[in-house]
Structures are given as C-alpha cells and as structure tokens.
Amino acid sequence: MIDIYICEDNQKELSLFTQYIKDLVSIENIDMEINLSSSDPHEILQAAGLSQNVGLFFLDIDLKSDINGLALAQRIRKLQPRCFIIFITSHSEMGFLTFEYKVEALDFILKDNASRIKSKIHECLLNVNDKYTSINNNIHKTFVINQSGQQISIDYDDIVYFETSYNIHKIILHTSRRTIEFTGQLKDLEQQLDHHFYRCHRSFIINKNNIAEIDYPEQTVYMNTGETVPISKRMKKGLKKIMG
C-alpha cells in the first residue's frame, strides 16, 4: 500500500489534483490511497512521520509558507528514505535536474495545461506502482556514497567493480549504467565490503556476481558489462579459490 500526499497552496489546484489522482487510482485499480491533501507543509510532514507505509508525494515548490517545496522534500526524504517525490510546479528556474539531484525526485510536472497535467499524473502513478512492486520483491543491500553532505545509494548487486582513479584520493565505482567518483582508499573499502567482492589487483575490486568469464592465463576478468579488469599474479590464486 502506498500513501499519497499532495501539498499545494492554491486551494483550487489542490482540489483539482486531488480529484485527478482519486479518479486515476480507482480507474487503474492500484494499491494506493490519498492519505492527506493539504496546503500546509507542516501537516504533510507530521503525517509522513506517523505513517508506516511508503509515501508518494506531489509537491508544489512555492508554498507561501516558511518552507518551500524543495526544503519540504528534503525533510520528507529524511523521514522516508525510500519514498517517491514528484513536483508539480510552474517555477521556471528550477527544473527536473535540480529536483533529481537534490531530493532524487522521480518526476516533475509543469503546470501548463490541464489535460497534460492529468496525463502526466497518470504516467507517474503507473511508474511509481511499477517501481514499488519491483522493489518489494527483493530487498537489496545498498552501498552508500557520501559526497559532502549528499548521499548516493547504489544496490550492491548493481556494482560491477571499483577502480582507483588517476587521482590517488579518489575511487571510481562502476555499475552497468553509471560511473561515480568518490573520495576513499581501496584498502579501507575492501574492509567495508562483504564476501561478494574481491580485490583482484592493486587498483581493482570486483563483484564476483557480475563476472562473465575469467581468463587466468591472460590474467583478465571479463565482467558481464563487457569491461575487462586485470588480475595481478599474486591475487590469481585467491580468485581461483573463491570462484571454486
């Protein structure tokens, strides 16, 4: 069950969006319910803090309150790390990239015309439903990167390998679709990771679950993304052992 929250300072728009969502939920027959629609961000925060269910939040940016929609979203994210946030706004200086970067917003609906808003809300509801069901099927362990206040979570299963950067203070994490740099040393990282990971080279830690093939004579690991990682002579034996 997903709880839906709507925060919008304009009463007319608030009731309009609430009506849209109500209709769409009953048409699509998805497991969601409107928990609260309000023009007061503090009410939303209170309700979000009390609820046990995962939330789906539709927020306006300009709330005519002491906090704006973005700050509200940041607080909600702290209360419910796995919630879904969607902005409905006419604010033009901030857009999806900003929302995605700051609060991992799922989407951004521009208040331009009524029929487009409705179809976009529809799209979002279905998208959230898909994501929610796939997350619920398997609970993943995540690796958290801390970058001066901002946290990025990556599923352990998605990590293909870690590599030292040209810059000795940085490590690069590779997933099949994403490459992220962060500060650290492989030595410390090695301790932090579980047994799925193996340091096969001075500059590389690989995820055993994402190996496609190992060529021992050539001292090369082929990852299932098509990338190759070298094995050092010293680590070859250990790799053979753990790969059984």
The verdict on 151 binding other proteins (CB under 8 A) reads: no
CB atoms within 10 A of CB 138: 8
The verdict on 226 binding other proteins (CB under 8 A) reads: yes
Question: Looking at beta carbons only, is 32 or 61 nearer to other proteins?
Answer: 61
User: Which of 77, 118, 174, 201 is in the footprint of other proteins by CB under 8 A?
Assistant: 174
The verdict on 212 binding other proteins (CB under 8 A) reads: no
CB atoms within 10 A of CB 157: 15
**Alpha-carbon distance 227 to 160, whole Å?**
9
The verdict on 180 binding other proteins (CB under 8 A) reads: yes
List C-alpha distances in Å: 217 to 11, 70, 240. Answer: 70, 54, 12
Alpha-carbon dihedral sign for residues 146, 99, 21, 24: negative
Count of residues engaged in binding other proteins, rule: CB under 8 A: 33
List own/partner pairs for 108-114 with CB under 8 A and 24 or more apart.
109/58, 111/13, 114/16
Residue showing tokens 């055993």: 208
The verdict on 234 binding other proteins (CB under 8 A) reads: no
Per DSSP, the three-state class of 24 is helix
Stretch that binds other proteins, among 4-12, 129-137, 178-186, 230-238 (CB under 8 A): 178-186
User: Which of 29, 50, 136, 177 is in the footprint of other proteins by CB under 8 A?
Assistant: 177
The verdict on 115 binding other proteins (CB under 8 A) reads: no
Contact 80, 54 (CB under 8 A): yes
User: Which of 139, 166, 194, 244 is in the footprint of other proteins by CB under 8 A?
Assistant: 166
| Nearest distance, CB of residue 12 and other proteins, angstroms | 21
User: Which of 10, 13, 157, 182 is in the footprint of other proteins by CB under 8 A?
Assistant: 182
Q: How is residue 74 written in tokens?
A: 């940041």
Residues in touch with other proteins (CB under 8 A): 92-98, 101-102, 147-150, 152, 163, 165-167, 169-170, 172, 174, 176-183, 225-227
